């Protein structure tokens, strides 16, 4: 008569033969586009190329990746590891942590449900263009405009609806692990030995 524990071992062996998926480890994307007007409510806003050059050179290397700007969870879900300022925007790479929120957000970013990025910043130098007939109800032609020349980056967040439509997640990387063949071989030998003693 075969023991119940041996029967469980057989099912574990069959299940372990399938590749298992580990955690999500890295996320990349454009944090903010340059020379692109966005309607942020009371005014239109754009960032000039190089607006974050000083910030990322001095302090932004280890800035946090948040979820919804920390509105629902104050804990970060990742940490910035690299920044690159290109002609069309500021790009970043973030190392994701093991928290449930980080892993869920990464899975949703990969599926497209949370496919956008948004930044938190402190304005350093801007150039305003005030509308002569300011009235947002009449459309963007009647709104003030602010061009950000220099800003200090504070954090980046994964969001479902960004201020800038081109601020998008471009890559979500996961770590995949397979059970070692030596381990599978050992399981197989144990089962073959037990199988040989089964009746019938």
pLDDT at 11 > cutoff 80: no
Give the CATH number of the domain where residue 69 resides: 3.20.16.10
What are 44-94's pLDDT values in tens digits? 999 999 999 999 888 766 899 999 998 877 899 999 999 999 999 999 999
> Taking Cα atoms as reference points, which of 120, 123, 122 lies closest to residue 69?
120
Domain count, the chain: 1
Mean pLDDT over 136-156 rounds to 95
Q: State which residues form the domain around 100.
A: 22-40+57-122+154-185
For helices 4-16 and 181-196, the axis angle rounded to 10 degrees is: 140
Give residue for tokens 């304005």. 123
In a domain, 191, yes or no: no
Share of the chain above pLDDT 70, in %: 76
pLDDT at residue number 74: 82
pLDDT at 93: 94
Q: Establish if 30 belongs to a structural domain.
A: yes
Q: Which residues sit opposite 125 in a β-bridge?
A: 150
| Residue 11 in domain | no
Domain membership of residue 93 (yes or no) is: yes
Task: Report the distance separating Cα 145 and Cα 147, nearest Å.
Answer: 7
Please provide the average confidence, as pLDDT, over all residues in the chain.
81
Mean pLDDT lowest for which of 91-95, 100-104, 124-128, 187-191? 187-191
Res 12: pLDDT: 31
What is the average per-residue pLDDT within 5-25?
42
Within a domain: residue 198? no
Tokens, residue 132: 């002569």
């Amino acid at each position: 008569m075969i023991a119940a524990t041996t029967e469980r071992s057989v099912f574990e062996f069959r299940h372990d033969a399938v590749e298992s998926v580990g955690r999500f480890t890295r996320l990349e994307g454009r944090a903010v586009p340059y020379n692109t007007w966005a309607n942020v409510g009371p005014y239109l806003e754009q960032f000039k190329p190089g607006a974050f050059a000083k910030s990322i050179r001095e302090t932004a290397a280890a800035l946090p990746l948040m979820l919804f700007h920390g509105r629902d969870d104050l804990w970060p879900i990742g940490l910035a590891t690299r920044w690159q300022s290109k002609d069309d925007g500021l790009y970043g790479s973030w190392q994701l942590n093991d928290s449930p929120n980080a892993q869920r957000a990464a899975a949703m970013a990969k599926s497209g449900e949370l496919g956008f990025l948004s930044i938190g910043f402190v304005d350093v130098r801007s150039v305003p263009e005030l509308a002569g007939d300011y009235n947002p109800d009449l459309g963007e032609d009647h709104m003030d405009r602010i061009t950000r020349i220099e800003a200090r980056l504070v954090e980046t967040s994964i969001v479902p609806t960004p201020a800038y439509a081109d601020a998008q997640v471009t890559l979500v990387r996961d770590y995949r692990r397979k059970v070692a063949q030596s381990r599978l071989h050992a399981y197989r030998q144990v089962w073959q030995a037990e199988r040989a003693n089964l009746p019938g």
